[in-house]
């Protein structure tokens, strides 16, 4: 199924672009994290820190631009085809996805480092920053899925 941009309402266009933006930031984040071996070399590479800060500035800057461009007034919100109950379901779904992510990440790290009793501090950094990515992606994806299911 190919979506035609002209037929999409503002909310759906916003969420599609929001999902694309944060997915690109996520790919860049993972590239820096995996390429520069951030866990074992935490704090040793200033370039890594600058790149990651730049990626998040792009993400939040793009988010701000999207929110201004697609700002909805009350009449548009009511007419965009997404009911309040649908929005609530989408937010509940993204909340659950976020909780699952935190749980799985924390348990995986625990299992990996259980014998040594020490967890590298880089993992705390990874969870904190990746949580921003998960929340942004999950919220947009949930809206798009709920809209598609309730057409």
Query: pLDDT band at residue 6, thresholds of 50, 70 and 90?
Result: very low
What b-and-e string marks burial along 85-115, b requiring 16 or more CB atoms within 10 Å of the CB? ebbebbeebbeebbeebeeebeeebeeeeee
Which H or E element spans position 126?
Answer: helix 121-149
The full DSSP string for 7-71 is: GS-HHHHHHHHHHHHHHHHHHHHHHHHHHTTTTTTTTS-HHHHHHHHHHHHHHHHHHHHHHHHT-
**Residue 9 in contact with residue 134, Cβ under 8 Å?**
no
Span 92-101, pLDDT tens digits: 999 999 999 9
How much of the chain, in percent, has pLDDT values that exceed 90? 44
1, pLDDT greater than 50? no
- pLDDT value of position 4: 47
Q: What is the dihedral of CA 5, 10, 15, 18, to 10 degrees?
A: 90
- Whether 32 shows a pLDDT value over 90: the answer reads no
pLDDT tier at 126, thresholds 50, 70, 90: confident
Instruction: Tell me the average pLDDT across 3-31.
Output: 83
Report yes or no: 40 and 33 within 8 Å, Cβ to Cβ.
no
Contact 62, 107 (CB under 8 A): no
Tokens of 37: 């071996």
Asked whether the whole model's pTM tops 0.85, one would answer no
pLDDT over threshold 80, residue 40? no
């Amino acid at each position: 199924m190919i979506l035609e941009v002209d037929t999409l309402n503002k909310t759906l266009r916003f969420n599609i672009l929001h999902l694309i933006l944060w997915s690109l930031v996520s790919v860049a984040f993972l590239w820096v994290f995996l390429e520069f071996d951030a866990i074992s070399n935490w704090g040793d590479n200033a370039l890594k820190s600058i790149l990651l800060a730049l990626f998040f500035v792009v993400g939040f800057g793009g988010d701000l631009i999207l929110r201004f461009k697609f700002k909805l007034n009350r009449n548009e919100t009511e007419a965009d085809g997404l009911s309040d109950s649908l929005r609530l379901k989408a937010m509940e779904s993204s909340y659950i996805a976020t909780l699952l992510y935190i749980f799985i990440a924390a348990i995986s790290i625990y299992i990996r480092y259980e014998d040594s009793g020490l967890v590298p501090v880089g993992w705390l950094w990874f969870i904190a920053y990746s949580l921003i990515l998960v929340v942004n992606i999950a919220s947009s994806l949930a809206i798009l899925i709920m809209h598609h299911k309730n057409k």
